[in-house]
Amino acid sequence: MTTVRCAIYTRKSSEEGLEQDFNSLDAQREACAAYVLSQTGEGWKLLPDRYDDGGLSGGTLQRPALQRLLAEVKAGRIDIIVVYKVDRLTRSLLDFSKLVEALDAAGTSFVSVTQSFNTTTSMGRLTLNMLLSFAQFEREVTAERIRDKIAASKAKGMWMGGTPPLGYRPEGRSLAIVEEQARIVRDIYARYLELGNVRLLAEQLVAEGIGSPSRMSGKGQSFGGCPLTRGQLYYMLKNPIYAGDIPHKGKVYPGNHDPIIERAMWDRVQARLAANVQGQRTVRAETASLLAGLLVDADGEPLVPVHTRKGRQRYRYYVSRSLQHGTAATTGNGLRIPAREIEQVVRQEITSLLGDPLVLAQACGLAVTPEMLAPISQNCAETLPDLLRSNARLAGIVSRIVIHAGRVDIELAPAGLARILGIPVSPDVQQTIVHSTSVRLTRTGHVVRLVHDNGAPVLKQADPSLIRLILKARRWWGELAIGEVNIQTLADREKVVPSYVTRVVRLAFLAPQVIDAILTGSIRAGLNGVTVLRPNAIPSHWEQQVAKFIPGP
């Protein structure tokens, strides 16, 4: 008889009761073990290893015991996974599809001892999908209730948790002023009104050794004790909590706590901030430079935002400061990067990072407990759109962005991330966390372009000069093919040399895949209206053209 190797997986969402000698995990395992024992006649054998996740939500697959279990499945050491209920594995249909794919690839199935079905049959899969649909529905309804409760409570001016702003401490569903810290906040507001510039304010505070005081979280963890960044100062100056209000999703409600900043001073600061923004933005907000003040090259030289105009079209770039000023030693070596390309790279990476806040928090050494996952995910989802539009907000979590020849390093500030995630900063957390993305620089004329490792451009944008050349090539070839003209008469008519006509007409015979890539902007970076006409630029065989001009997977 063939031995069927069985592993039991157990999970409990909360930590309540786990300290007991016989808890929910033990009860689940006992029921599953009894079921395996009842199948001994079928060759089932229980493996000794335990896979228990206590205090972890079923809304994510990032659970230590589950990951160990999946590793064993992938290694081919488990035939059946036994669970008490299917929602012990996951409450998400999307995660379930990933699990089924992994189990199918390894030839593994799973059994629920309280829900009789088998995933190896179509009816079993249908039953399972229905159960998971209800589980996911329950999870989403619970999340909606929590969001509605938070919104209603904030509308009544209540403090609903998280890290309190500097100058306050939690007091039930309200905030109490910590006078020692409140004096720092009032001083910062007064200094800003005097200086009128956040950068100068940050420099002055650093010079005088004034920073964020060390504080203790509700769980006894210490955080703070470091200089205040520009992003933190912007956040502090714009935070309506200091004026006695409670913000929620773009709305502001009167709070139940006492204000640290008087309303008159608060209004003057907001007016000054708004005036400064209006003075800096001479174009529409959507074309402002998202990464201003954050970009440097591998040698640490800043890249500054510039723009040019051609007709009504406005083109934005980030340019090495020395190149902009025309310094002789560096004019030939500076960077000139299209703004949309590098901003797209940063947007994609920030979106990806905040899409998995648990992994992000762990990478930054920030303390996260299971009950914090839902609020953290909500904070990330609410904050992300503003982060990707505002230079000031992005500067709160990004210290700087370093452009190397073969990669882009995004240096993250854990303190800023902790504020967005709504969790305290660990005292031993690193000052910066470096996140690298695999894009490289390629030079096209005076402009440096960003491309992926496979040569694909970061932004898929058709080159008008290439499209015009292809249209011209097909038109000229049509005339030559029916004998209306020859190369010499065509060259005379167009006032070009015959060799130019020959090079252009070659483009009428490009591979269809290459033509499609040119029209969609997905052609390999470096091919443009100039390089395509160089001698030997176009291989004669279509297969060679595809290999040369279309990026691989």
**Strands of 295-297's sheet in order across:** 295-297, 398-403, 408-412, 433-437
Asked if pLDDT for residue 285 goes beyond 70, the answer is no
3-state secondary structure of 306: strand
| DSSP-assigned letter for residue 118 | B
Report which of residues 230 and 100 the model is more confident about.
230
Whether the pLDDT of residue 147 is over 80: the answer is yes
Q: How far is CA 284 from the centre of its chain?
A: 25
- Residue 9, pLDDT > 90, answer yes
Q: Which residue has the tokens 């006894």?
A: 220
Averaged pLDDT, 458-483:
81
Share of the chain above pLDDT 70, in %: 79
The three state secondary structure string of 454-478 is CCCECCCCCCHHHHHHHHHHHHHHH
The answer on pLDDT for 35 being more than 70 is yes
DSSP states along 130-156:
HHHHHHHHHHHHHHHHHHHHHHHHHHT
Q: What is the pLDDT of residue 69?
A: 92
pLDDT of residue 427: 62
* Residue type, position 204, single letter: Q
pLDDT at 282: 40
> What CA–CA distance (Å, rounded) separates 509 from 542?
9
Confidence at 288, pLDDT banded by 50, 70, 90:
low
Lowest-confidence segment of 268-277, 430-439, 492-501 by average pLDDT: 430-439
Which residues does residue 409 pair with via DSSP β-bridges, in sequence order?
402, 436
- Split at pLDDT 50, 70, 90, the class of 336 is confident
Distance of alpha carbon 283 from alpha carbon 258, whole angstroms: 39
pLDDT band at residue 360 using 50, 70 and 90 as cut-offs: low
- Which stretches does DSSP call E strand in 2-79? 4-12, 44-46, 51-54
- pLDDT attached to residue 281: 44
Mean pLDDT (whole number) for 136-147: 77
Closest of 155, 150, 152, 375 to residue 252, by C-alpha: 155
Residue 503: half-sphere exposure toward Cβ, Cα within 13 Å: 14
Residue 408, pLDDT > 90, answer no
Which of 539, 549, 543, 544 lies closest to 514 in space, CA to CA? 549
* Model pLDDT, residue 284: 43
Would the pLDDT of 551 be above 60? yes
Quickly count: other Cβ atoms within 10 Å of residue 303's Cβ: 27
Task: Please state which of the ranges 170-184, 380-394, 538-552 shows the lowest mean pLDDT.
Answer: 380-394
Count H helices and E strands in the chain, helices first. 19, 22
First and final CA of the chain: distance in angstroms?
Answer: 46
Condensed to tens digits (0 to 9), the pLDDT of residues 410-425 reads 888 877 777 766 666 6
What's the mean pLDDT in 357-371?
65
Out of 110-114, 115-119, 289-293, pick the least confident.
Answer: 115-119
Please give the pLDDT value at position 164: 87
Of 163, 182, 200, 179, which Cα lies nearest the Cα of 416?
163
Domains and CATH numbers, the chain: 4-143 (3.40.50.1390), 168-280 (3.90.1750.20), 295-452 (no CATH), 464-549 (no CATH)
Kindly tell me if the per-residue pLDDT of 372 is higher than 60: yes
Q: Beta strands of 345-432 (E only): which ranges?
A: 398-403, 408-412
What pLDDT score does 241 carry?
93
Picking from 163-177, 199-213, 301-315, 370-384, which range would have the lowest pLDDT averaged per residue? 370-384
What's the pLDDT tens digit per position in 37-55? 988 888 999 999 999 988 8
Highest mean pLDDT among 263-277, 322-336, 375-389, 429-443: 263-277
SS (H, E, C) 95-112: HHHHHHHHHHHHCCEEEE
Distance of CA 122 to the CA centre of its chain: 37
Indicate the DSSP class of residue 46: E
Backbone dihedral angles phi then psi of residue 536, each to the nearest 5 degrees? 65, 20
The C-alpha atoms of residue 108 and residue 228 are separated, in whole angstroms, by 53
Give the C-alpha separation, 51 to 25, whole Å: 10
Q: What is the pLDDT of residue 430?
A: 66
> Are 351 and 361 a contacting pair, CB within 8 Å?
no
Mean pLDDT across the chain: 80
Element (H, E) at 192: helix 179-195
Residue with tokens 């306050």: 168
Q: What pLDDT does 483 receive? A: 84
- Report in angstroms the alpha-carbon separations of 479 from 333, 469, 497, 502, 532: 45, 15, 17, 13, 22
Q: Could you tell me the pLDDT band of residue 10, with boundaries at 50, 70 and 90?
A: very high
The arithmetic mean of pLDDT across residues 352-368, rounded, is 68
Question: Using CB atoms within 10 A of its CB, is residue 348 exposed (0-12), middle (13-18) or buried (19+)?
Answer: middle
Q: What is the pLDDT of residue 552?
A: 62
How many angstroms separate the CA atoms of 16 and 382, rounded? 29
Structure-token pair, residue 163: 């890290």
pLDDT tens digits, residue range 290-319?
888 888 888 888 888 888 877 777 778 888
Q: pLDDT at position 283, please?
A: 40
Buried-state track 104-123, b at ≥16 Cβ within 10 A, e below 16: eebebbbbbbeeebebeeee
Backbone dihedral angles phi then psi of residue 284, each to the nearest 5 degrees:
-60, 150
Contact at 8 Å (CB) between 436 and 405?
no
Amino acid at site 282: T
Quick one: pLDDT band at residue 256, thresholds 50, 70, 90?
A: very high
pTM: 0.39
d(CA 42, CA 38): 9
